[in-house]
A and B are shown apart, each in its own frame.
Chain A
Amino acid sequence: MEKGAKADEEEETNMAAWLLGVKNLKIQPYHLPPLGPHDVKVRVKALGICGSDVHHFKTMRCANFIVKKPMVIGHECAGIIEEVGTEVKSLVVGDPVALEPGISCGRCRHCKDGRYNLCPGMKFFGSPPTNGSLANKVVHPAHLCYKLPENVSLEEGAMCEPLSVGVHACRRANINPETSILIIGSGPIGLVTLLAARAFGAPRIVITDVDEHRLSIAKMLGADEAVQVSTDVQLVDEEVARIQNAMGCDINVSFDCVGYDRTMTTALNATRAGGKVCLIGLALSQMTVPLTPAAAREIDVIGIFRYRNTYPLCIEFLRTGKIDVKPLITHRFGFSQEEIEQAFETSARGGTAIKVMFNL
């Protein structure tokens, strides 16, 4: 299959990467719905692979979301407006935009409270049964498409999605110039949290990981200290001591970007009384952790699910250079059958791959 769409009569056939079964992705036609008055049609140009995409790819599920029928994969995307609906005033053809993936209902109490990320009727790109956006084109509400400034690339636009998780976490945890923070896990989410925390003014940031290479990236991206830790549960106390030593002052907020018993235990033990632990990494269902001693020090555990109202801020951070996400994009692939398979394999492998990006 060649890259991009096939010219078919006078209309291009829209193609997308469909998840058909476990580890089975196929580029196939993707028929778009008609354009509603408040929708836009976007030619997708950049799309990043997320851990959840890989999880869907490998297991056909992610937490409570189960892929029961073929579904287009992918959700971290940006592109160029091709067509606008009749009521769309804020965007025109040719505008480069970053897409916020989730369409909430606008009627439930969560939406009306402004916590639309918790909407039970949320339709989110690449979360079954909603088709994703690894496609030539998608149709999307205009209000979820954010125009990119001239100095922000389409790849950076696609990076707004993972960056949003970090930004949302920093908001919920109230990161500011007085919060010294610990980040557990130096993968893509740990790194965007690092960048976001710095942008929110965190004065001192210590990051941990089991992998030296990932720690070196974190150091390069501005972590004050990088501490290598193990997966050995016996060593938690010793590691907490090393982390606190590296911080040199009280740890106000810890972000667990991994989400295991061990990482959460480390976070709960390392954080100062009255501080916060933000659980971002969603790995296990049941966790065994020293919750009581932490609660008895009035440490609060803050939950994070995706993000809300973060795109304008992300774009502004990128525009001003307060955040530079470009170093996170380590691998690039085109939109062909062979390349999408390689891309997912690369992302799944981890290692030196942080963000794998498609250029369409």
Chain B
Amino acid sequence: MGKGGMSREDGEEENMAAWLVGLNTLKIQPFTLPPLGPHEVRVRMKAVGICGSDVHYLKTLRCAHFVVKEPMVIGHECAGIIEEVGSDVKTLVPGDRVALEPGISCWRCDYCKEGRYNLCPDMKFFATPPVHGSLANQVVHPADLCFKLPDNVSLEEGAMCEPLSVGVHACRRANVGPETNVLVMGAGPIGLVTMLAARAFGAPRIVIVDVDDHRLSVAKDLGADDIIKVSTDMKDIPEEVALIQKAMATAIDVSFDCAGFNKTMSTALDATRSGGKVCLVGMGHNEMTVPLTPAAAREVDVIGIFRYKNTWPLCLEFLRSGKIDVKPLITHRFGFSQKEVEDAFETSARGGNAIKVMFNL
């Protein structure tokens, strides 16, 4: 299968996509697009990143309560070039480079009307079953969810707006500002975008922890004030909390648990100052056993995070101005062929040195 679309006999390009057809089985196959609605655009995909949730679907055909019951196109972190615009689209023209916000909400329910559209029960989100994703030659998408890239922001950076949005949304909900000293648990892709976002929001001091030396060194390169290696052993918590607090040297106002395990959450709850916040970003386990009461008795609040809302304009501005540089997070690149799709997911699943694996189409 070659890179890009296949030409059909009638001269029209056949749209191809990476379909999740079974456990650990991805196949590049045709993907018929719906007709273009008046408020929609057709986008030629150019950059698509792989997310932990994409890998989880590949390996298990499920993620939390979402279950893949029939073949589904994978991928959701994407950017591309407008090919065609619907009749009522005024803000975009063919040739525009855009980053895509994956989720289409209903705009009728209370959540949508309140502005918390990320909580819409009818959300149709790229590659969350049963909605098809965007690892394809082209997709059709609402124009209002396509954000034009500034000239100095690349398509790959556009695709990075999606994971970066998680960090931005978390910083907003936790009210990170020039007075918030921040602890980040986990230096994987989400921990790193959270750290970058926190700095962009003005956090004066950021300490990040992980079990992995390499990830910590990446975090240091990306601007962490201090890095601490931690273990997976619950018994080490008191000692690690002491080390973390010492490294911060001042009270920890906000902690982001970007891993979502008992140990990381317990550490965060104990390390955060009275009246502070712990943001649970990572989704590790369903049931968690944590010292919730002592934290509540110090008025440490636990803030929940689900995806993001209204973050693309801010992400693009951060990238345009250079306040955030996401390029170092892109560690591996692959093209859009059967073999490369398989290699890419294997690389992403392996973790290790791989932070963000990016497709270039």
Q: Which A positions have Cβ atoms within 8 angstroms of B?
A: 63, 109-110, 113, 115, 117-118, 120, 172, 250, 259, 264, 273-274, 279, 282-305
Known: A289-B287, A289-B292. A300 touches B302 (CB 8 A): yes
Instruction: Give me the 7 closest cross-chain CB pairs, A-B, nearest first.
Output: A303-B296, A295-B304, A301-B302, A295-B280, A279-B296, A303-B299, A298-B304
- Is B1 part of the binding interface, using a Cβ–Cβ cutoff of 8 Å? no
B66-115 residues with Cβ-Cβ distance < 8 A to A are 110-111, 114
Distance A264 CA – B251 CA, assembled complex (angstroms) = 28
Shortest beta-carbon distance from A107 to chain B in Å:
15
B347 to chain A, nearest CB (A): 27
> Do A274 and B290 touch (CB < 8 A)?
no
Chain A: CB-nearest residue to B289: A288
How far apart sit A264 and B289, CA to CA, in the bound complex (Å)? 12
Which B residues are within 8 Å of any A CB, using their own CB? Answer: 64, 110-111, 114, 116, 118-119, 121, 173, 251, 260, 265, 274-275, 280, 283-306
CB pair A282–B302 under 8 Å, yes or no, is: no
Q: Which residues of A contact B119 (CB under 8 A)?
A: 273-274, 297-298
Compute how far the CA of A301 lies from the CA of B265 in the bound complex, rounded to whole angstroms: 13
CA distance A172 to B277 in the complex (A): 13
B299 nearest CB neighbor, chain A only: A303
Instruction: Please judge, given known A-B contacts A297-B304, A300-B301, whether A290 and B287 are in contact too, CB under 8 Å.
Output: yes
A284 CA / B290 CA spacing, docked (Å): 11
Which residues from chain B contact A289 at a C-beta distance below 8 Å? 287-288, 290, 292
Q: In chain A, what residue has the closest Cβ to B120?
A: A273
Q: Are A290 and B286 in contact (CB under 8 A)?
A: yes
CB of B308 to closest CB in A, whole Å? 11
Closest to B301 in A: A302
Chain A nearest CB, measured from B286 CB (Å): 6
| Residue from A113, A115, A297, A305 whose CB has the most chain B CB atoms within 10 Å | A305
Complex-state Cα separation, A110 to B275, whole angstroms: 8
Q: What is the CB-to-nearest-CB distance from B282 to chain A, in angstroms, rounded to a whole number?
A: 9
| Complex contacts, B297 vs chain A, CB 8 Å | 63, 282, 303, 305
Residue of A nearest to B288 (CB): A291
| A291 and B280 form a contact (CB under 8 A) | yes
Kindly provide the distance from the CB of B173 to the nearest chain A CB, expressed in whole angstroms: 8
**What is the chain A residue whose CB lies nearest that of B296?**
A303
Docked-complex contact B304 and A113, CB < 8 angstroms: no
User: What CA separation (Å) do A38 and B306 show in the bound complex?
Assistant: 51
Using A295-B304, A297-B119 as known contacts, say yes or no to A304 and B296 having CB atoms under 8 A apart: yes
Instruction: Assess the A291–B302 pair: CB atoms within 8 A.
Output: yes
Chain B nearest Cβ from A336, distance in angstroms: 35
With A and B bound together, what is the CA distance between A109 and B179 in angstroms?
13
User: Would you call B301 and A288 a contact (CB within 8 A)?
Assistant: no
- Docked Cα-Cα span, A264 to B295, in Å, equals 14
Asked whether A291 and B265 contact (CB < 8 A) given A273-B119, A283-B293, A299-B304, the answer is: yes
